[in-house]
Structure 1
Amino acid sequence: MSKQGIVSCAVLLSLSLIVYPARAQVLTIQDAIHTAQTNYGTIKAKSEYVNASKATVVQSRKDYLPNLNLSMQQDYGTVNGQNGPLYGMGLSVASSGLPLPEQNWNSAFGALYLTNVNWDFFAFGRAREKIKVSESMVYRDQSDLNQEQFQHGIRVAGAYLSLLAAKRLIRSWENNLQRASGLKNVVVTRAKNGLIPGVDSSLANAEVSNAKISIIQARDYEQEQASRLAQLLGITTQSFVLDTMFITKMPKTINDSSTVIKSHPLLQYYSNRIAVSNQQARYFQTLSYPTLSMFGVFQGRGAGFSATYAADQTAYSHNYFDGVKAVRANYLLGIGATWNLTSILRVKQQVAAQKFVSLGLQEEYNVIDNQIKNQLLLSENKINNAVANFKEAPIQVQSASDAYLQKSVLYKNGLSNIVDITQALYVLNRAETSRDVAFINVWQALLLKAAAAGDLTIFTDL
């Protein structure tokens, strides 16, 4: 291809980009809900809480493993001993020499190497109940995440509809401004020709100004709704292009009155809170039972003092390696049981307190359950009212349009006054705004029903 041909193609391509600009991507309600449920900070936080609970389950299972302790110490000091009783408060020195008649300062190195195994192998189900408590906490936190995602989806859908309604209101007020401006031109022309009083032009100018102010207010409201939607999506405020299906199509399930509450996410969360409390009460009950343990010890000891030190107080060495080398070993195996009998009285009250907590959580569950049932009944009434308004809206618009046309023709022919035509203009604008939001109100009522039923697909399965 020649250089001139390449240049021509580039020019044509540039013109096509100017004439056919790229369309902004439409944000559907499904995309908005999905973005919010994966991007919102509160939901992310609760996801981490679920991960923390799952880690707690693993930790609870590993608590049943035996305790294995390794210890090593190397010391330097005296071995003076004394006959008499001693209580191990943990602050005394374990000097194991013979009780000699007088103090001496003979010192040498010593060492102790110890391995200890301790396993509470049976405690009447204590470990098992602790694991169940941790697992029930996972279910609770997961249901908390699910209900937060569900409720956030409802909030996003509501903000989406509010923003769409705001955009439609701007369009209605722009149409009103166009009619007011057209009326103003007619009035000014007739006033200049002396056919009507000059005050009519002042009233017409006032109507145009009022229409402009209404547009500014509508845009301000639209910007507020866009900011709210952006916050719920977890993004910065931007200009959204929304799906206009909500003002052109009725919901498919609008007449479905068979919806019942099935596993509402919020009720599941409150139910799992009760389950956690009940499981904790069962775990506390096991604290009053005895614990059976197995244990084993293996130790090695070294000392710089000779076996003949009792007869010869000079039979010791200051050499480090002579003192820290293990020359004696001992082992011990055993089984034992511990039972703090007074813990029965304390645990009894702890279990009773936890059961009262469960009763309180049950009452909270009952409150939420009652609210949801009433909300479901209310949503049915709101749907019926919204559908009735939707059916009346076209009649109102048609009647108001006919009245405005009639008044404008009469005014142009000098058979009506400016007050009558401005009143007709107001009625027509009110009818158009009612028509624009009538569709939105139906969808808002359906969203309320989805929120009460605990099933967002009632709204999203369009």
Structure 2
Amino acid sequence: MLKHFLLLGYSMLCGILLCYGQENPTPITLHQLLELVRQHAPSLQTDAAALAIRESQIKKTANNRSPDLYLSYQTNLGSNNNVAGPYFGFGIVPTNNRGVRESNNYQPVSSNLGIAAFQWEFANFGAYRAQRAAAEGDLAVEANKFAQAQFDLQSFTIYSYLQLLKLTDLSIIQQRSIERNVEIHRSILALAKSGIRAGVDTSMAEAALSQARLQQIDLKNQENQLKIRIAAVSGLQVQEVIPDTAAEHILFQQVTALPATLQETNQHPLINYYQSIVANQELKEDLVRKSYRPKLFLSAAVWGRASSVNSVDEFLPLNQGIGMQRGNYLVGLGISYNLFDRRRQRLDLALTERQTMRASKKLAEEQVNVQTNILQAKAEVSAAEERLHEIPRQVKAANAAYRQKFSLYKNGLTDIVELNVAQNMLYRAETDYITAKYNYYLALFHQVIAQNNVDPFLQLFN
């Protein structure tokens, strides 16, 4: 008896685990999918990193005002032979003080030098402010580019979700077509066995059934491909990408009232992006003007030296050149201005102004494109709405025609060709209805995208 209870308990446990393992994933709403895309999309993470780079660039630019303080110490060993006369050091000729004699003396001399040098470009007539403004302009461009990327990814997500709902509905229509073909095939088999119908009708029915199943396979492949693309940007597993079909029914009930609420147009992120480019180019023009202005410097230095050669040109032991024998300090104000920079400034400014002009023309072009897209989307909404109102009549008529032809066929009053025509007409009407419905959704979607007025459309999915 105990063994029977144990077996029963084991069977129930296995059944529960099996049911749990086969539990269907919960459908995901459009709002949930959009939030996952914002958090996990690889392209947004890349753009966010680029935005962080621009923020770091502002901090780096702000540090341009900081002074420089150099510390240097050196100990040297070498000869001390020199002649009178000037020369350019070019940064590579070693300095050798005094040592002007009748002949060379290659006896080694030790020396050392320690210095602390301070230099600060404390004024450049607005160049620092222009550098900061240009860096902030770069940040504004990157921020608007990031906003545009978010907008594009949001558009892609909404479009893909609608396409996924459409493929789900088309799969349901295709399944109905398969069931009708199975029903026709079953009837033909019964009629063929009784000798009422020829065997060729059976072959034609099998071919139609096979074609319907192949179309179902193609739809399933399209759905899987779309799910893979959605999973790539949302962080979900492919099997977790299941659209909420209940939300689509609510959407269909409410969507016809949406166009009346879409008259208000917001600034499109693409326009914001190109406006920021124009503004940034103008800031760069100002930077070019101010970067060639004079520069004022404050310089100071403290240093000490020692040498193993004394003031009367006696060569002392090398250890006498260690330590500090003499010390000095120096403070000064300076101004620097290159008189030949005027031509360079004009050339740089002309180049930057042309870049600004190009950015302005691109902005005007995109403004025209956005307005054109809005007008085209509104026209498409109107046409799609008319098609959506007309197609249900086609579906109703095609369904009645199919039922009549099927009844006539079973009674021997028509042939398989006319029945297939009626069946294909019904299938076409059903798919046309699904296509018209989602074309209406997409037309509205294109309008809200062109107007940057997506929120009213998203609220229909609540």
**How much has 1:397 moved relative to structure 2?**
2.0
Whether the 8 Å CA contact 1:379–1:445 is kept in 2: the answer is yes
**How much has 1:246 moved relative to structure 2?**
2.3
**How much has 1:296 moved relative to structure 2?**
0.6
Query: Quick one: which amino acid aligns to residue 292 of structure 2?
Result: S
Say which is worse superposed, 5-14 or 398-407, in terms of deviation: 5-14
Query: Quick one: which amino acid aligns to residue 61 of structure 1?
Result: A
Residue correspondence of structure 1 range 27-66 to structure 2 within 5 A: 27-66=28-67
Residue correspondence of structure 1 range 375-394 to structure 2 within 5 A: 375-394=373-392
1:127-161: CA deviations, max 9, x gaps?
A: 11001100111111011011011111111221222
Alignment-derived partner of residue 150 in structure 2: 149
Query: Structure 2: how far apart are the matches of 1:77 and 1:173?
Result: 95
Q: In 2 relative to 1, CA 377–297 (structure 1 residues): closer, same or farther, beyond 3 Å?
A: same
Alignment-derived partner of residue 234 in structure 2: 233
Query: Structure 2: how far apart are the matches of 1:437 and 1:9?
Result: 51
Q: In 2 relative to 1, CA 6–442 (structure 1 residues): closer, same or farther, beyond 3 Å?
A: farther
Say which is worse superposed, 267-276 or 451-460, in terms of deviation: 451-460
Whether the 8 Å CA contact 1:110–1:303 is kept in 2: the answer is yes
**How much has 1:13 moved relative to structure 2?**
5.7
**How much has 1:261 moved relative to structure 2?**
3.5
Alignment-derived partner of residue 139 in structure 1: 140
Alignment-derived partner of residue 404 in structure 1: 402
**How much has 1:18 moved relative to structure 2?**
4.8
Say which is worse superposed, 219-228 or 358-367, in terms of deviation: 219-228
Query: Structure 2: how far apart are the matches of 1:192 and 1:211?
Result: 24
Query: Structure 2: how far apart are the matches of 1:348 and 1:234?
Result: 52
Query: Structure 2: how far apart are the matches of 1:395 and 1:93?
Result: 98
Say which is worse superposed, 252-261 or 425-434, in terms of deviation: 252-261
**How much has 1:106 moved relative to structure 2?**
2.7
Alignment-derived partner of residue 198 in structure 1: 199
Alignment-derived partner of residue 289 in structure 2: 285
Whether the 8 Å CA contact 2:61–2:135 is kept in 1: the answer is yes
Say which is worse superposed, 111-120 or 225-234, in terms of deviation: 225-234
**How much has 1:10 moved relative to structure 2?**
6.9
Q: In 2 relative to 1, CA 142–18 (structure 1 residues): closer, same or farther, beyond 3 Å?
A: same
Whether the 8 Å CA contact 2:231–2:241 is kept in 1: the answer is no
**How much has 1:240 moved relative to structure 2?**
2.5
Query: Structure 2: how far apart are the matches of 1:377 and 1:17?
Result: 56
> What is the TM-score normalised by the length of structure 1?
0.92
Query: Structure 2: how far apart are the matches of 1:359 and 1:218?
Result: 49
> What is the TM-score normalised by the length of structure 2?
0.92
SS in 2 for 1:204: helix
Q: In 2 relative to 1, CA 456–249 (structure 1 residues): closer, same or farther, beyond 3 Å?
A: closer
Say which is worse superposed, 122-131 or 205-214, in terms of deviation: 205-214
SS in 1 for 2:409: helix
**How much has 1:257 moved relative to structure 2?**
5.5
Say which is worse superposed, 377-386 or 248-257, in terms of deviation: 248-257
Whether the 8 Å CA contact 2:259–2:444 is kept in 1: the answer is no
1:268-304: CA deviations, max 9, x gaps?
A: 1111111111111100001231111111111111222
Alignment-derived partner of residue 332 in structure 2: 334
Alignment-derived partner of residue 69 in structure 1: 70
Query: Structure 1: how far apart are the matches of 2:201 and 2:278?
Result: 72
Alignment-derived partner of residue 160 in structure 1: 161
Whether the 8 Å CA contact 1:150–1:456 is kept in 2: the answer is no
Whether the 8 Å CA contact 1:184–1:201 is kept in 2: the answer is yes
SS in 2 for 1:249: helix
1:204-243: CA deviations, max 9, x gaps?
A: 2222122122222222222232233334436664462111
**How much has 1:95 moved relative to structure 2?**
1.3
Alignment-derived partner of residue 441 in structure 2: 443
1:181-218: CA deviations, max 9, x gaps?
A: 11111112112212233332232222212212222222
Query: Quick one: which amino acid aligns to residue 297 of structure 1?
Result: A
Alignment-derived partner of residue 262 in structure 1: 266
Whether the 8 Å CA contact 2:184–2:205 is kept in 1: the answer is yes
Q: In 2 relative to 1, CA 343–185 (structure 1 residues): closer, same or farther, beyond 3 Å?
A: same
**How much has 1:91 moved relative to structure 2?**
2.4
Looking at secondary structure, tell me which structure has more helix per residue: 2
Number of equivalences: 455
Q: In 2 relative to 1, CA 329–382 (structure 1 residues): closer, same or farther, beyond 3 Å?
A: same
Q: In 2 relative to 1, CA 433–239 (structure 1 residues): closer, same or farther, beyond 3 Å?
A: farther
Q: In 2 relative to 1, CA 235–80 (structure 1 residues): closer, same or farther, beyond 3 Å?
A: farther
Instruction: Check if 1:181 corresponds to 2:182.
Output: yes
Query: Structure 1: how far apart are the matches of 2:348 and 2:264?
Result: 39
Whether the 8 Å CA contact 1:288–1:341 is kept in 2: the answer is no
Q: In 2 relative to 1, CA 59–6 (structure 1 residues): closer, same or farther, beyond 3 Å?
A: farther
Query: Structure 2: how far apart are the matches of 1:200 and 1:8?
Result: 52
**How much has 1:266 moved relative to structure 2?**
1.0
Alignment-derived partner of residue 97 in structure 2: 96
Taking every aligned residue pair, what percent have the same amino acid on both sides? 23
Instruction: Check if 1:300 corresponds to 2:304.
Output: yes
Whether the 8 Å CA contact 1:119–1:295 is kept in 2: the answer is yes
Whether the 8 Å CA contact 2:42–2:233 is kept in 1: the answer is no
**How much has 1:164 moved relative to structure 2?**
2.2
Which among 277, 296, 303 is matched to residue 273 of structure 1? 277
Q: In 2 relative to 1, CA 243–438 (structure 1 residues): closer, same or farther, beyond 3 Å?
A: farther
Whether the 8 Å CA contact 1:177–1:212 is kept in 2: the answer is yes
Alignment-derived partner of residue 248 in structure 2: 246
1:294-324: CA deviations, max 9, x gaps?
A: 11111111222233x33xx34x1212xx322
**How much has 1:170 moved relative to structure 2?**
1.7
SS in 2 for 1:414: coil
Q: In 2 relative to 1, CA 228–414 (structure 1 residues): closer, same or farther, beyond 3 Å?
A: same
RMSD between aligned residues? 2.4
SS in 2 for 1:63: helix
Whether the 8 Å CA contact 1:70–1:116 is kept in 2: the answer is yes
Whether the 8 Å CA contact 2:74–2:114 is kept in 1: the answer is yes
SS in 2 for 1:340: coil
Query: Structure 2: how far apart are the matches of 1:183 and 1:60?
Result: 78
Residue correspondence of structure 1 range 315-334 to structure 2 within 5 A: 316-319=316-319, 322-334=320-332
Query: Quick one: which amino acid aligns to residue 386 of structure 2?
Result: A
Query: Quick one: which amino acid aligns to residue 441 of structure 1?
Result: N
Q: In 2 relative to 1, CA 404–121 (structure 1 residues): closer, same or farther, beyond 3 Å?
A: same
Alignment-derived partner of residue 416 in structure 1: 414
Say which is worse superposed, 214-223 or 322-331, in terms of deviation: 214-223
Q: Specify every segment of 5 or more residues in structure 2 that has no aligned partner in the other structure, as ranges.
A: none
